[in-house]
Structures are given as structure tokens and as C-alpha cells.
Amino acid sequence: MSKDKDFKLTYEKVNRLFKYDQSTGFLFWRINFSKKIRAGCKAGYLNSCGHLRLKLYGKQFYIHRIIWLMNYGYLPENFIDHIDKDKTNNKLNNLREVSFQCNLRNKGNQNNNTSGVKGVTWHERDKRWRVAIGLNNKKYKLGSFKDFDEAVCFRLAVEQCLNWSGCNSTSPAYLYVKQLQRKTPA
């Protein structure tokens, strides 16, 4: 198949090219697309950021966007978020359309995070837990606490004040506090 610079994904095209397995979240080719890509083969590859992508007519596409189009009939203007933060889990019940800000909020902890809770860091000199939050591309320092649990609860309270619950009910702060509640006797 030739390269088409003006190629646009449509509902009809993706359903002609691919078959989606809802139980696994995988996309499979329906046709023999090239010598290497045969009907029945799993579509896509893992890119350096951990997303599944594929190349079609010289253009790169995220597989989760193709799956969205196949199932809902449109490509969202905004972002598609992986609710469980697993960028390879493309089961339909793990995908949701969200704003840019909401998509950023659902990011997990950075690799260098040592507290286990996003926005809560240990400050060695002061011997205190510092709490910060990112909002509209700015980082806001919210305060410092001697007690880790208190710092995490404060971080969660700020998330809830910003109405992040609709975006990220799996935030590290939320999960930590939920776990604390299970351990605390009533």
C-alpha cells in the first residue's frame, strides 16, 4: 500500500484494517498489510514512552486512539487516559476521554520518588515532609509536616479542593489514605 500524506483515520478504515479483542485490549490486523504484517498478527509496537503505536501510510498512531475510534466512532479532540496508568492496557473499560490537565494528574510517581506519594518529599535539612502540587505548568509549595501521614492527607485534601477526584481516583495520596483507613480501627 502506498504512502498517503493526507491519510486520515476514519471509523470505516480502522474497522476494515483491524479487529479489536475487548477481553485482552489487543488490536489485530484483518488484512495482509505488508510482507511482515499479515492478517491475524498483533498490531503495533511499544515506543520509548511505553505506549503502543503503529505506523500506517507513513504516519504514527497511538493504538488506544484507534481503539477509541473503532468503538465510539470518533477521535476525541482531547486526550485518552489509561485509568490504571498502564499505557499498554488498552481494554475499553480502562480508557477515558480527558482534558490535558486531567491526563497529567493521572500520571504515577516519578522514578526518583522515594515517599511513594506524588508531591510529598523528604527534606533532609529540615527533617520534614514537604508537600507540593503542579497546576497549570507551575509548581506550588503547600507546606511542610513532621508527620508523613499528615503530609499525605494534606496533599489529598488539596487534590480534592481542586476537584481532581473526577480525574484521578487512583492518585498515590488517595490510595495511601484509603489504605490508612483500612488499618485504623473504627
**What does the domain layout of the chain look like in residue ranges?**
11-98, 109-183
Phi–psi pair at 97, nearest 5 degrees: -85, 130
Q: Residue 186: is its pLDDT beyond 60?
A: no
CB contact at 8 A, 78 and 104: no
CB contact at 8 A, 155 and 121: no
Percent of the chain exceeding pLDDT 90 equals: 50
The 10s digit of each residue's pLDDT in 109-162 is: 777 788 889 889 999 999 999 999 887 778 899 999 999 999 999 998 888 888
The 10s digit of each residue's pLDDT in 35-66 is: 888 999 999 999 998 999 999 888 999 999 99
CA–CA distance, 144 with 140 (Å, rounded to integer): 12
pTM of the model: 0.71
Q: Which amino acid is at 173?
A: A
Listed range (69-78, 94-103, 123-132) with the worst mean pLDDT: 94-103
Q: What is the pLDDT of residue 130?
A: 95
Q: Is the pLDDT higher at 2 or at 20?
A: 20
Report the Cα 184 to chain-centroid distance in Å.
31
Which CATH number applies to 109-183: 1.10.3470, 2.60.40, 1.20.5, 2.20.25? 1.20.5
Q: Residue 5: is its pLDDT beyond 70?
A: no
CB atoms within 10 A of CB 158: 19
Domain with residues 11-98, CATH architecture: Alpha-Beta Complex (3.90)
CA–CA distance, 135 with 145 (Å, rounded to integer): 21
